[in-house]
Amino acid sequence: MTRYIFSRLLQMIPPLIGLTLILFVLLRIGGDPVAHLVRPEATQDEIAQVRAAYGFDQPLYKQYFRQLGLILRGDFGDSFRFRTAAMPLVLERLPATLELALASMIVALIIAIPAGILAAVYQNTPIDLFVTTGSTLGRAMPNFWIGIMLILIFSVQLRWLPVSGRLEPFSIVLPAITLGSGIATALARVLRSSMLEVMRQEYMTTAKAKGVGKWTILIRHGVRNALIPFITMLGLQVAWLLGGSVIVEEVFAWPGLGRLLLNAVLVRDLAVVQAGVFVFGFVVMAANLLVDISYAFLDPRIRYR
Amino acid sequence: MLGAILVTLAVVTAVFAPVLAPHDPTELNLGSRLLPPFWYSEANPSYLLGTDQLGRDVLSRLMYGSRVSLIVGICGVAISVVIGVALGLVSGYVGGATDAIISRVLDTFMAIPFILLALAVVGVLGPRHGSGLITLITVLGVTGWVTFARVIRGESLSVKRREFVDSARSIGQTDLQIILRHILPNIVASVIVLATLQIATVIIAESSLSFLGLGVQPPTVTWGLMLSEGRDHLATSWWLATLPGLAITLTVLGVILLGDWLRDILDPRQQT
């Protein structure tokens, strides 16, 4: 098990290096990086000085390794908007985003697990039709629209829940439902089809022949075996969840990393953009690592591969 | 069937918007601001779906908005298909070190949420040229290739082991000929299905970026921008934010249903 986790950790290195390369290219396609560091009225001499000070007069590969070294130390430069280092700014906002992501994940599981199982058990009944139709509709609805419609119904019309911010405990309800419902549709769909697959297996018939109750069979033998594809999907949805958080945080004025990043993009605060993208990428990779490790716990066959 | 109807409706509206729209979508009419849709008694019959905060006709704006969504969706995906299919084919067919490198690149791109990467690229590119349409198409096209490369790599890996590829090689065909004549035709079905579903993703991404103010710039009309403007009038004119969202949902729903239907007839193996 330890060996499996270790080898999986090593596999994280190439994409992390890839991520730093993408950031390097990203900064360069925006034009001369020195232009963002000097005052608009700077003289040629001043520009040359800054260029040399940041190593931008060196060959590209040297510039890359210089930047890689800085990134390894967590140094993404200073935010010109906040006049402090970019990385602490990003990390300060990360908990709010993770809190929202976790709450959304819980909402998604509460919806998707019963929906997926019921749709499979009652295949081709009105319940199944309801779940599959809802899931297709959910795929088609942009999450910012779901968010605004929830605000319209629950905050503006019914006045049950706060519109935005993160000051009251109930503030998280609407953003979590918005973000969670989006992944719930994908999760319910996967769970439904893997349950259908599992229910055709012979061990299900064997269990039934032994006289085990219907729901006991479904939970103990069915759901457990249907979990692998479900968890794969859950892992894939982490990237989607964090991408969606940029939009949902903006809709609900949730003070997280997504909103910080969006504002940084709007004013071209490149240090914060880079640090934010790096942290988002890192979180997705870490989540995928957790997914892979949980496979090994769920399915002993994977550990010995 | 429903999918085909919705998609046809969206395409017809987009193509014939200048003929169909009752008003100029950018025409201001400050005397008739925030008029409600036709089912309210105070509605004005010449503005069927009401007007926005500047007195512009909502129906006409919705019609013109479909143009941006469809153009960005189709052109963006076309770019992704070219990049993704080329890399996927090479990766799967050539194998070895090439495959290893392309696969690592894929892993990296998989770790960055699509919309986030698009956001970062738009942010770095900064001041937009013209309406921003070309920038948006390029960004969404260049960032959306990952799905294609991943699936096509897998498909070409399995097709390449089939007997007809061996026979083609034994009669002296070059690698390029084999890829173009024998592998590509076998994966076209998957590409069509994936491309259709990716159009749905890109339409949502486009409307998201426009909603955030990073997409196509005014005076060009987009659904995302209409939604973002309508948000400020939720308490008084709820339809301003509701109708563009409905337009996006119906269009995307049509594309998804069409994609699912295509998958059922072209590629039964991939059914979920």
* Nearest CB to B234; choose among A152, A244, A288: A152
* C-alpha–C-alpha distance, residues A136 and A126, integer Å: 15
Instruction: Give the residue numbers spanning the domain of B263.
Output: 47-270
Specify whether the CB–CB gap between A272 and A83 falls below 8 A. no
Residue B17 domain flag = no
Question: Which residues of chain B register pLDDT less than 50?
Answer: 271-272
Helix, strand, or coil here: B52? coil
Amino acid in position B92: G
CB proximity list for A197: less than 8 A, separation 6 or greater: A226
* Nearest CB to A273; choose among B112, B123, B212: B123
Contacts of B245 in chain A (CB under 8 A): 141-142, 145, 148-149
Tell if the CB–CB gap between A262 and B119 is shorter than 8 Å.
yes
- Section A162-169 average pLDDT: 71
Specify whether the CB–CB gap between A262 and A189 falls below 8 A. no
pTM of whole model > 0.90? no
pLDDT at A128 over 80: yes
* Nearest CB to B121; choose among A26, A190, A288: A26
pLDDT digits (tens, 9 = 90+) for A67-126: 888 888 888 888 877 878 888 888 999 999 999 999 999 999 999 999 998 898 888 889
Contacts of A189 in chain B (CB under 8 A): 272
pLDDT at A136 over 80: yes
Residue B96 domain flag = yes
* Nearest CB to B104; choose among A18, A243, A265: A18
Tell if the CB–CB gap between B111 and A285 is shorter than 8 Å.
yes
* C-alpha–C-alpha distance, residues A115 and A230, integer Å: 13
Phi, psi of B57 (to 5 degrees): -70, 120
B235 at interface of A, judged by CB pairs closer than 8 A: yes
CB contacts under 8 A, A 170-209 vs B, are 189-190, 193
HEC string for B93-157: HHCHHHHHHHHHHHHHHHHCCHHHHHHHHHHHHCCCCCCCHHHHHHHHHHHCCHHHHHHHHHHHH
* C-alpha–C-alpha distance, residues A38 and A27, integer Å: 16
CATH assignment of the domain containing B176: 1.10.3720.10
Tokens of B116: 């986030």
pLDDT digits (tens, 9 = 90+) for A209-253: 888 777 888 777 777 778 888 888 888 888 888 888 889 998 888
For B255, name the nearest residue in chain A, comparing CA atoms only: A140
Tokens of A62: 């040297």
| Number of domains, chain B | 1
Q: How far is CA B175 from the centre of its chain?
A: 33
Tokens of B4: 């085909």
CB contacts under 8 A, A 65-124 vs B, are none
Residue B208 domain flag = yes
**So what's the pLDDT on residue A100?**
92
Residue B13 domain flag = no
Residue B197 domain flag = yes
**So what's the pLDDT on residue B240?**
86
Specify whether the CB–CB gap between A56 and A64 falls below 8 A. no
pLDDT digits (tens, 9 = 90+) for A187-220: 998 888 888 888 888 887 888 788 877 788 877 7
Closest to B72 (Cα-Cα) out of B189, B220, B246, B191? B220
HEC string for A257-286: HHHHHHHHHHHCCHHHHHHHHHHHHHHHHH
pLDDT digits (tens, 9 = 90+) for A268-293: 888 888 889 889 888 888 888 888 88
B151 at interface of A, judged by CB pairs closer than 8 A: no
Contacts of B105 in chain A (CB under 8 A): 18
* C-alpha–C-alpha distance, residues B140 and B158, integer Å: 29
**So what's the pLDDT on residue B133?**
83
* C-alpha–C-alpha distance, residues B75 and B79, integer Å: 6
Residue B147 domain flag = yes
Mutate to test the interface with A, among B103, B124, B272 (most CBs of A within 10 A): B124
pLDDT digits (tens, 9 = 90+) for A7-40: 888 888 888 888 888 888 877 776 666 766 667 6
**So what's the pLDDT on residue B174?**
85
Mutate to test the interface with A, among B208, B248, B260 (most CBs of A within 10 A): B208
- Provide the mean pLDDT of chain B: 84
C-alpha torsion angle, residues A111, A114, A115, A118 (rounded to 10): -170
Complex-level ipTM = 0.84
Q: Number of residue pairs across A and B with CB atoms under 8 Å?
A: 148
Domains of chain A: 2-72 (no CATH), 93-260+277-298 (1.10.3720.10)
* Nearest CB to A142; choose among B116, B204, B260: B204
HEC string for chain A: CHHHHHHHHHCCHHHHHHHHHHHHHHHHHCCCHHHHCCCCCCCHHHHHHHHHHCCCCCCHHHHHHHHHHHHHCCCCCECCCCCCEHHHHHHHHHHHHHHHHHHHHHHHHHHHHHHHHHHHHCCCCHHHHHHHHHHHHHHHCCHHHHHHHHHHHHHHHCCCCCCCCCCCHHHHHHHHHHHHHHHHHHHHHHHHHHHHHHHCCHHHHHHHHCCCCHHHHHHHHHHHHHHHHHHHHHHHHHHHHHHHHHHHHHHHCCCCHHHHHHHHHHHCCHHHHHHHHHHHHHHHHHHHHHHHHHHHHHCHHHHCC
Tell if the CB–CB gap between B245 and A148 is shorter than 8 Å.
yes
Bond preceding residue B25 cis, omega within 30 of 0: no
Tell if the CB–CB gap between B110 and A239 is shorter than 8 Å.
yes
**So what's the pLDDT on residue B272?**
45
CB proximity list for A152: less than 8 A, separation 6 or greater: B234, B238, B241, B242
Specify whether the CB–CB gap between B59 and B37 falls below 8 A. no
- Provide the mean pLDDT of chain A: 83
Percentage of chain A beyond pLDDT 70 is 93
Give the DSSP H or E segment for B254.
helix B239-266
